[in-house]
Structure formats: C-alpha cells, structure tokens
Amino acid sequence: LVSNVLIFSCTNIVGVCTHYPAEVSQRQAFQETRECIQARLHSQRENQQQERLLLSVLPRHVAMEMKADINAKQEDMMFHKIYIQKHDN
C-alpha cells in the first residue's frame, strides 16, 4: 500500500513538473502569435487609410504611377519624379 502511494505521488509530481512549464510556453507562444497578427492587421489598416488619403488627393492613375515609382527603389536617386500634370475638368 505504501509503495503504491509513493509511486502514485511521484507520478503526479512528475506530471505537474512537466505539465505546467509546457502550459506556460504554449500560452507565451499563443500571446506572441496574437500580438504579431494584431500588429499586421494594424499596419494593413494604416496602409488602407494612407491609400484612401492618397486617392482623395490625386487621381487614381497618377497615384498608381507615383506608387510604382516609389516602389522601384532606385538607390542613386535622392528625389523621385515630380508629378505635375494638367487636368481639364
């Protein structure tokens, strides 16, 4: 009877010692993943707001041309093209 109680208690102690650290690491991984997803969603929201602001100021074809030029990443150019176009209303 004493040996059964000893084996049972040792098994529970080992189980507790392995379960809780694993639980803590899983919770931490979940929190980090959640924070990463929230940051990505926040940056996507900001990009959409910037796009709407840009399109509220410039016509769509000019804005797309400007974005394509900026995304080209020409290292030797300090300034990008100047976008001056005549618009007939």
pLDDT for residue 25: 94
Kindly report, residue by residue over 21-64, the tens digit of the pLDDT.
Answer: 999 999 999 999 999 999 999 999 999 999 999 889 888 888 88
On whether residue 78 sits in a domain, the answer given is: no
On whether residue 40 sits in a domain, the answer given is: yes
Among 45, 82, 86, smallest CA distance to 65 is for: 82
The structural domain count of the chain equals 1
Overall average pLDDT of the 12-21 stretch: 91
Alpha-carbon gap, residue 36 to 64, rounded angstroms: 29
On whether residue 14 sits in a domain, the answer given is: yes
On whether residue 76 sits in a domain, the answer given is: no
pLDDT for residue 61: 85
Domain range holding 54?
1-71
Q: 33 in helix, strand or coil? A: helix
pTM of the model: 0.58
